[in-house]
Amino acid sequence: MKVTAAVFEGVGKDLSIQELELEDPKAGEVQVRLAAAGVCHSDYHVVKGEWEASGPLVLGHEGAGVVEKVGPGVENVQVGDHVVLSWLPYCGHCSYCIKGRPALCPRVLETAYANLMADGTTRLSRAGEPVYSYLTTGAFADVVVVPASGAVPIRKDAPLDRVALIGCAVATGVGAVTKTANVRPGDTVLIIGCGGVGLSAVMGAALVSAGEIIAVDLSDESLERAKALGATATVNPGRDSVPEVVRSIVGEDGVDWAFEAIGLKPTLEQAYELTKPGGTTVVVGQSADGVTVEVSPMMMSDREKSLIGSNYGSCHPAVDFPRLVDLYMQGKLDLDQLISRRSSINEINEAFAAMGSRQSGRTIITY
């Protein structure tokens, strides 16, 4: 069938809106007609050339829609189901999956990170030439074919243009706080970076009744969103010293938990600096290729300060996505506050330009 998609051809080139050919789903695959897709910084890393990826490639990995077809052997969804897309095509039976850590599944390396389906091919083509789906998702297209584990069924009364954000930003940010870190009530929390993931981390901290929740960002508009989502204090490093403000609130030792949601060397190191003895810094933001950080191993051992990573909020999509949808529908997660702009697929390049100018909140592409 014919689909309309935004195609990445190479760094320095605008994405172009093209008509592509989409094959029917094969065994273990699902066809979904999308209602909405979010524009994430991970897509922007590719556009800017910070992550290597070869075109032609349909970007986008955060979306929601309705199942149109299922391939042989698919049992988790059926035609007509409403689903949130997951870019994590895990196998379900390796040691990591059995332990409930599908983000570490080897299949993710072979499929999502290679922009390929499980059989090593792609379902998209253009005049006979293969076109690849970013993270095995390719959500900047009105219809997609994804692995069955990448289509998570949810309740049908949830608005698809809001819950689409659960597929990346919300699962990553909320999960980093509630699953990777397991923040406890009263713990002090610092969140550096208030994009979609950072704001979701603020929501997660408020959800578990953290104590002080300090949000840091260069955008005052983003900081206002953070306040609306539960931040107890905000800092704009363009005007104020982050260490001074944080220590004036929680004391000289620093915070129990510091979440870095940008992926930059200076902010990663600052997050670690502001973590108290016995506390933990959580690396949530995705950095450009080649970024490294410097920390003192003596500080780690002598003051028992931990530095850990969080991929996809340590979530299990089949379990956690429906729960996050329920929390939204119950008014406990304000996904609406994350959205600042709605666009059509024809405005995808404007959406990336807005991201580059530090737009507050997420752009939602609606189909």
Catalytic residues: 40, 42, 45, 61, 168
CA distance 214 to 84: 30
Token pair listed for 312: 């996809």
Q: Which amino acid is at 94?
A: C
335 DSSP assignment: G
Token pair listed for 316: 């299990």
State the Cα angle at 49 between 139 and 192, rounded to 5°. 80
Segment 321-324 long-range contacts (CB within 8 Å, at least 24 positions apart): 321/84, 321/86, 321/152, 321/154, 321/166, 321/167, 321/171, 322/152, 322/153, 322/154, 322/155, 324/163, 324/166, 324/170, 324/171, 324/174
219 DSSP assignment: -
Alpha helices for 21-154 (secondary structure H): 41-48, 95-98, 106-110
Strands (E), the chain: 2-8, 16-22, 29-38, 57-58, 63-70, 82-85, 124-126, 129-133, 143-147, 151-154, 189-192, 213-216, 233-235, 255-260, 275-283, 306-309, 339-343, 362-366
Whether 89 contacts 196, CB under 8 Å: no
Q: How far is CA 306 from CA 201, 243, 248, 273, 297, in A?
A: 19, 19, 23, 11, 10
How would you class 303 by CB atoms within 10 Å of its CB: exposed for 0-12, middle for 13-18, buried for 19 or more? middle
Token pair listed for 330: 């119950």
User: How many alpha carbons fall within 13 Å on the CB side of residue 175?
Assistant: 25
